[in-house]
Each structure stands twice: as C-alpha cells, then as structure tokens.
Amino acid sequence: MADTKKTADKVKDTINEKIVDPAKKAGEAMKSSGAKLAEGGSTVGMKMLDQAEENTRQAFAAMRAAAKAKDLTEVMKVQGDFLREQGSRSMTQAREIGDLIVQFGKEAVAPLSGKK
C-alpha cells in the first residue's frame, strides 16, 4: 500500500511538473501578451487621432491663408506649400505609427518568449 501511495504521489508530482505548471505559465504569458496588445492598440489609436487632429489644423490654416490670398499665384503657393508639408508630415506620422507597432509587438511577444 505504501508503495502504491508513493507511486501515485510521484505520478501526480510528475504530471504537475511536466503538464500543469507549464500550462499555467503559458496561460499567464498569453494573458500578459493580450494585455500588452490591447494597451498597444489603444496607444496607436490615440496617436492616430492626435495626428488627424494636427492634419486638420494644418489644412484649416492653409485654407485660411488661401482665402486671404491677393491673387491666384499666392493661392497656388499656399497650396504647394501645404502639399509639400503634408507629404513630409505624412511620412513622419507613418514612421511614428510603425515604430509604435514594432515596440508594442516586441512587448507583446516578450512574455511568450520568456523575455521581460
């Protein structure tokens, strides 16, 4: 009887060590990873809203400048300046969003790979 109990305890310990504990750790890592992804999505969304707000401000500033223009040449200059600045702003904004996505991707994967 004592041998049977020892064997049963040994099997139970082995199951806990080889199956249950790793499964718990994996579940915790998945939960942590999911939380980081949700946080990252929220941050990226807010950054995109900030960028849209800035783009809108710049567009209205350009429209005001065009409305105050004295002739067509001045309107064309305002439009050209706006398009050039907007192109540059768009590249910067895309880079910012890309960097955020990469950062959050690394942070989300870290719990799964055992890195902190």
* Structural domains of the chain, count: 1
Report pLDDT digits (tens) over 46-65.
999 999 999 999 999 999 99
Q: pLDDT tens digits for 26-39?
A: 777 777 777 777 77
pLDDT < 70 stretches in the chain: 1, 111-116
User: What pLDDT is recorded for position 114?
Assistant: 62
Q: Which domain holds residue 109?
A: 2-113
- Contacts of residue 34, Cβ cutoff 8 Å, sequence gap at least 6: 108
Q: What was the pLDDT predicted at 115?
A: 56
- Whether pTM exceeds 0.75: no
- Give the Cα separation of 49 and 12 in Å (integer): 54
pLDDT on residue 57: 96
